[in-house]
Structure 1
Amino acid sequence: MDLWQTLVESLRRTEVPAITFQELLLVLLVATALSIPRRSWRYFGLLATAVHELGHALAAVTSGQRLSGIRLRLDHSGTTTTYSRSRAAAAWSCFWGYPVPAVVGAGFVTAGFSGWGPAAIAASILVLVASMLFLRNLAGFLVTAVAIACALALILLVPHAFVGHVAVVLGLAMLVAAVRDLFKLANVHLRRRDRLATSDAYLLYRATAVPSGVWIFLFAVLVAGSWVAAWQPISLILGRGA
């Protein structure tokens, strides 16, 4: 069976994983361990940055802008370069950075609980492979290649029933990462104003004259909404275990 056929077959729905109350607690613990401690965040945060920049890139493409390139750096920063004559389109692509890790996280959690975990992982492989066409630095290639290799290992070596559990872990970790990055953004505006030039909220203010605080609030609304969506299947299991 070749790799392409395996990926295609992984896009189908599989048996819904039976996640018990005890397993869910372990899943929550692992997800937190990926996104909170500095040592693990040093590596998992790179994936969150990649998703953030892919959010900018996808928004740019869907709004008719020209995507020039994506750069990912090992200090968790990144840049997506686009060209557009429309301020509205430029603002649209600038907005979809911080909310996207949370949206993707909610999607992974929902997919994991509903039997679409392997499909979510396989789809992410296709997106990451496509993104390599726009990467413009070695660190970006390295981060993306490692992510693709790990996802391929899940699809090829891990039983599909267990991949659903992994999708839930990754989704929750990405949701935690989105909250962490949102606090980091707020800190830039409150205490590290010398770094405002790196803030998407500040860039949106410069492009639209709408205050940065409004944009941060909108980011927070979408992140919170993603948490609510992801929490629905989790609350059912917690309710049964209570």
Structure 2
Amino acid sequence: MGAVGGARVGSLAVISSIGELWDKVFGAQPDPPPWLVLVTGVIALTVVLTRTPWRVGRNAITIAHEGGHALAAVLTGRRLQGIRLHSDTSGLTLSAGRPTGPGMVFTLLAGYLAPSLIGLAGAWLLGGNRITLLLWIAVALLVAMLVMVRNAYGMISLGATAGLVFSVSWFAPPEVQAAFAYAGVWFLLIGGVRPVGELQSMRRGGRMPQSDADQLAWVTHLPALLWVAVFGLVNLFVLVVGAGLLAGPFLNGSRPIF
């Protein structure tokens, strides 16, 4: 009876621990104060607009960009061969399959749209106060990318990013988690726009002849400038929608201002 009772107590403890973990990850966190939403947005905008912080932060945009290519390739049935991330914030995703057709178009299109769309998904989760869930999903995606990375810098960059996000999600208090999550989502939404301008600037100077836009032009027989415009317009639209999701509950009065 003692052994059976001990096993039963142990099983209940395990079930209780699983329940606590479930609540921690999938439960809603408290509403963040409105000033936090505003301040994290200003910080993200400042990082995007200033030279050195953007040079560092752009690595996160590159991770999202290459992750978008990789996910699109897998979803369209292409064979993902590997991802490379470089210290100059450039990246490369290789996949095998037909060089033309919808799968190739979708794969090429996904890169410049991915940071903004990931930010939009994050804004939707934050709108429901699923802050820890957002951070854990981010960790899962980073680990999934890590499996496909084929260079040392990429492994270090992804490993460090995943470790940082997990540490915040597991050890940080709710208010720190909220600040980290809001800053990250704002950065993806705002930071997704700037690379499109950089892309066109480099294309104009002849420094990027094999850009995603130029490859799309070759595949679709539509002008590369049209694809640059698509990138920019979609990302600007997503920024507006995402900002509304983040700030809307406070502006329309469904959450208290003070």
Normalised by the size of structure 1, how large is the TM-score?
A: 0.89
Shift in Å, 1:10: 4.4
The Cα of 1:111 is off from its aligned counterpart by 1.9
Find out whether 1:184 has 2:163 as its counterpart: no
1:30 CA drift (Å): 1.6
State the distance in 2 between where 1:131 and 1:82 align: 14
* Cα deviations by residue, 1:164-208 (Å, 9 ceiling, x for unpaired): 332221111111211110110121233x223222x1101111122
The unaligned stretches of length 5 or more in structure 2 are 1-12
What does 1:77-116 correspond to in 2, within 5 Å?
Answer: 77-85=90-98, 87-88=100-101, 89-116=103-130
Match of 2:52 among 39, 51, 59: 39
Give 1:221's aligned residue. 233
Give the corresponding residue for 1:204. Answer: 216
Contact 1:201/1:215 (CA < 8 Å) preserved in 2? yes
Question: Residue 12 of structure 1 corresponds to which residue in structure 2?
Answer: 26
Q: What do residues 15-37 of structure 1 show as CA deviations (whole Å, max 9, x unaligned)? A: 342322x3333122221233222
d(CA) in 1 for partners of 2:46, 2:236: 20
Does the 8 Å contact 1:10/1:155 carry over to 2?
Answer: no
State the distance in 1 between where 2:229 and 2:77 align.
Answer: 26
What's the C-alpha RMSD, in Å, of the aligned pairs? 2.3
1:150 to 142, 161, 164: 164
- Alpha-carbon separation, structure 2, partners of 1:27 and 1:114: 18
CA contact (8 A) 1:118 1:163 kept: yes
Q: Which amino acid aligns with 1:87?
A: T
Q: Which moved more, 1:148-157 or 1:86-95?
A: 86-95
| Larger mean Cα displacement after TM superposition, 5-14 or 93-102 | 5-14
In the alignment, what sits opposite 1:58?
A: 71
2:242 aligned counterpart, secondary structure: helix
Deviation at 1:143, TM superposition (A): 0.8
Q: Give the stretch that moved more between structures: 83-92 or 229-238.
A: 229-238
The one-letter code matched in structure 2 to 1:78 is G
Q: Hey, what's the Cα distance between the residues in 2 that align with 1:134 and 1:142? A: 13
Point out where structure 1 has 5 or more consecutive residues left out of the alignment.
none
Identify if the C-alpha distance between structure 1 residues 34 and 13 changes in structure 2 by more than 3 Å, giving closer, same or farther: farther
- C-alpha distance in 2, partners of 1:213/1:7? 49
Q: Distance in 1 between matches of 2:209 and 2:233?
A: 21
- Which deviates the most, 143-152 or 28-37? 28-37
Contact 1:105 1:175 in 2 (8 A): yes
TM-score, normalisation: structure 2: 0.84
1:132 match: secondary structure? helix
**SS in structure 2 at match of 1:171:** helix
Q: How does 1:162-177 map to 2 (within 5 A)?
A: 162-177=176-191
How many percent of aligned residue pairs carry the same amino acid?
23
Judge conservation of contact 1:106–1:229 (CA < 8 Å) in 2.
Answer: yes
Q: Which amino acid aligns with 2:194?
A: R
Aligned AA (1:74) = S
Asked whether the equivalents of residues 25 and 136 of structure 2 are also in contact (C-alpha less than 8 Å), the reply is yes
Contact 1:99 1:223 in 2 (8 A): yes
Report the Cα distance in structure 2 between the residues aligned to 1:128 and 1:7, rounded to whole angstroms: 21
Question: 1:126, 1:228 → 2: CA distance?
Answer: 27
User: Is 145-154 or 83-92 further displaced after alignment?
Assistant: 83-92
Q: How many residues align?
A: 237
What one-letter code is carried by the residue in structure 2 that aligns with 1:36?
L
Range moving further from structure 2, 81-90 or 159-168: 159-168
Determine if contact 1:7/1:122 at 8 Å carries over to the other structure: no
Are 1:57 and 1:93, in contact at CA under 8 Å, matched by a contact in 2? yes
Partner of 2:10: none
SS in 2 for 1:64: coil
- Please identify the structure whose Cα radius of gyration is greater: 2
1:194 alignment partner, SS class: coil
- The Cα shift of 1:84 comes to 0.6
